[in-house]
Amino acid sequence: MTQLTPRAAGQTIADLRVRLAQAEASLPALENAFQEAALADLSGDDAGAAEAARAAVQEAQAQLAKLRAAIPAAERAKRPRQSRRPGPRSGLNTSPN
């Protein structure tokens, strides 16, 4: 994964949140379309409509899950990385030499 600068990570987080809000806002309309398509399918008016609408709802739900997972990952990338080097030594020699 490419290391983002804090500014780029902040922009990425903002972009992801916008996309998440848009996806969440569109989901109810897709769910309503699925319900109407299922009714049309059951009544014989539009065979197969429910399947296409269900696929659209499932795709939207998968996109929501990806966005919800990506935001915390971007937030972690924004945090400064801590050095893995040990801190100052106490001066005590604990080796068995």
| Sequential pLDDT tens for the chain (97 residues) | 567 777 888 899 999 999 999 999 999 999 999 999 999 888 888 878 889 899 999 999 999 999 999 999 888 877 766 655 555 555 556 656 5
CB 76 within 8 Å of CB 91 = no
Q: Where are the domains of the chain?
A: 6-73
What predicted TM-score, i.e. pTM, was given to this entire model?
A: 0.68
Residue 5 class from Cβ within 10 Å (0-12 exposed, 13-18 middle, 19+ buried)? exposed
Residue with tokens 């990338």: 77
